[in-house]
């Protein structure tokens, strides 16, 4: 059994005040609703239902925490940028994410999931700039490559690479398919580094 298969659900919080003590190492998964955050998490931990994969976007309004061991955690942050929710709700989510990113000391880095068919949307760029400001490493995962031709994947990777230059924090990226499991090894090696494994 791999280290990541040991992941188990810890708790779900609507406020950063409810988080467990700010110790150890946390890595957060962020991204627009429906980009595939839960699917990527399930793929990494080789579990089908660890993070609920929703067909209705915008439903996860909490920070869901998963523990890998007594020191390491994964945080599944609420999805942003979903059009069909009221502005007040969006503001609430933005505040939750902003507060978490700016105050959580054990936050080591972020995995930013994008749908490769819709990369670098406004909310993604905002988040990248935010992480640059707080000097937090970001690894961009361009998910759902199975939905595009090889040529289109290569073209988008090229465009994203260009768009990711100019940040002063550590920013890396890769292609992924949670459906097919493509890119899992590469992503796990990034996590190993962040978790000091
Ligand atoms: N084809 C394809 N579909 C995916 C992939 N990853 C996620 N999905 C689908 O995209 C939808 C949203 O996924 P989910 O993990 O719930 O996204 P989240 O809102 O970011 O947590 C679901 O219907 C998933 O089955 C992928 O790599 N390929
Ligand atoms: Mg989800």
User: Which H helix or E strand runs over 29?
Assistant: strand 25-31
Task: Provide mean pLDDT across the span 88-93.
Answer: 81
Instruction: Say how far apart CA 29 and CA 16 lie, in whole Å.
Output: 16
Question: Residues near ligand 1 with C-beta < 6 Å?
Answer: 31, 33-39, 53-55, 57, 79, 143-144, 146-147, 177-179
> Does residue 80 carry a pLDDT above 70?
yes
Domain ranges across the chain: 3-194
**Which residue puts its alpha carbon closest to atom 12 of ligand 1?**
34
pLDDT band at residue 59 using 50, 70 and 90 as cut-offs: low
How far, in Å, is the centroid of ligand 2 from the Cα of 39? 7
Instruction: Say how far apart CA 22 and CA 106 lie, in whole Å.
Output: 6
**Which residue puts its alpha carbon closest to atom 6 of ligand 1?**
36
Dihedral-angle region of residue 53 (phi above 0 means left; psi in -120 to 50 means alpha; beta otherwise): beta
CB atoms within 10 A of CB 159: 12
Q: Token pair 């949670």 is at which residue? A: 178
Determine the pLDDT at residue 33: 86
Q: Residue 52 CA: which ligand 1 atom is closest?
A: 16
Determine the pLDDT at residue 60: 61
pLDDT band at residue 28 using 50, 70 and 90 as cut-offs: very high
CB 13 within 8 A of CB 62: yes
Give the ligand whose atoms come closest to the C-alpha of residue 35: 1
How far, in Å, is the centroid of ligand 1 from the Cα of 36? 4
Determine the pLDDT at residue 78: 86
Task: Provide mean pLDDT across the span 169-194.
Answer: 98
Determine the pLDDT at residue 55: 62
Q: What CATH number is given for 3-194 in this structure?
A: 3.40.50.300
Bigger pLDDT: 173 or 54?
A: 173
Bigger pLDDT: 35 or 62?
A: 35
> Does residue 54 carry a pLDDT above 70?
no
Q: What is the pLDDT of residues 97-122, one digit of tens each?
A: 889 999 999 999 999 999 999 999 99
pLDDT band at residue 156 using 50, 70 and 90 as cut-offs: very high
Determine the pLDDT at residue 48: 76
């Amino acid at each position: 059994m791999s280290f990541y298969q040991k992941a188990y659900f810890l708790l779900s919080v609507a406020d950063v005040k409810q988080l467990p003590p700010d110790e150890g190492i946390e890595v957060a998964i962020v991204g627009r609703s429906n980009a595939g955050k839960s699917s990527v998490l399930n793929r990494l931990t080789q579990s089908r239902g660890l993070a609920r994969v929703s067909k209705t976007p915008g439903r996860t309004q909490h920070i869901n925490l998963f523990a890998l061991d007594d020191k390491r955690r994964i945080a599944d942050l609420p999805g942003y940028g979903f059009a069909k929710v009221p502005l007040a709700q969006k503001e609430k989510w933005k505040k939750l994410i902003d507060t978490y990113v700016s105050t959580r000391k054990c936050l080591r880095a972020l995995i930013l999931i994008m749908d490769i068919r819709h990369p670098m949307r406004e909310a993604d760029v905002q988040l990248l700039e935010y992480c640059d400001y707080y000097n937090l490493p970001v690894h961009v995962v361009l998910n759902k490559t199975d939905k595009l031709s090889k040529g289109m994947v290569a073209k988008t990777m090229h465009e994203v690479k260009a768009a990711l230059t100019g940040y002063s924090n550590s920013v890396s990226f890769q292609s992924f398919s949670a459906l097919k499991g493509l890119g899992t090894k590469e992503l796990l090696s990034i996590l190993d580094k962040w978790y000091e494994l």
